[in-house]
Amino acid sequence: MNIELQYKPAYAIARVNLSAGESVKAESGAMVSMSSNVKIKTGRAQSGSLLKSLKVMALGGESFWMNTFTAENNPGEVILAPTLPGDVQKLDLQGTVFVQSTSFLASEIGIELDTKFQGMKGFFSGESLFFLKCSGRGALILSSYGGIEEIDVDGEIIVDTGHIVAFEEGLNYRIQKFGGWKSFFLGGEGLTMRFSGKGKMWIQTRNTPDLGKWFREVLPPIQK
């Protein structure tokens, strides 16, 4: 499998070239185009139990259904793109990363999907209560709203909750307010995540919740 990323960072796509017999699984609705010999199969997001798939959908923010694209008999190509304008990045996964709910785009078949509970702190983060847990070996394709910045953490770093794309298993975090109470209510930042430990993390240069807030402010109210 060869994955080529194009049109970065604003309107990125992933061009996935499959050898005969190879497959890639992708989030529902991610396909832009595919070769005529590529076959598509729609199935549960998690290859294990039905209950586990429902957990990924309801708690991880991903669609219950995912599409698997397979090049039968001859090589084929699939082009994938995220919903929002932004970047796409490929990780050569060898272990586990946690991905925020809207940033999973596609992966090789060997990558397993599960969820990680944030506990009560998730209720105050303004984000999903769960991260999507991606484990195994192979290519994992992430997407973002805006560009993607990779950070090597060795110690501590504070990140706005809306800018998290993914982070490695070796990093721990806790939710905290931005500065003092005056900054929290008037500073426009809200809550943050303080990461500690050693490992890589990926952040996005734009904030999806802020985009929704902007639309609510500029669009006229719905007339009943």
pTM for this entry: 0.80
H/E stretch holding 182 reads helix 181-186
23-55 burial, b at 16+ Cβ within 10 Å, e below that, comes to bbbbbeebbeebeeebeeeeebbbeeeeebbeb
Contact predicate 38/26, CB 8 Å:
no
Residue 62 and residue 101 in contact, taking contact as beta carbons nearer than 8 Å: yes
**Region of poorest pLDDT, from 46-55, 102-111, 175-184:** 46-55
Does residue 45 carry a pLDDT above 80? no
CATH of the domain at 81: 3.60.160.10
| 59-82 confidence digits (pLDDT tens) | 444 455 789 999 999 999 999 999
106-152 pLDDT, tens digit per residue, is 999 999 988 665 544 444 444 444 688 899 999 999 999 999 999 99
223 within a domain of the structure (yes/no): no
Residue 224 lies in a domain: no
Q: What is the domain extent for residue 135?
A: 2-218
Q: 193 lies in a domain?
A: yes
Report how many domains make up the chain.
1
Q: Is residue 66 part of a domain?
A: yes
Q: How far apart are CA 146 and CA 208, in angstroms?
A: 9
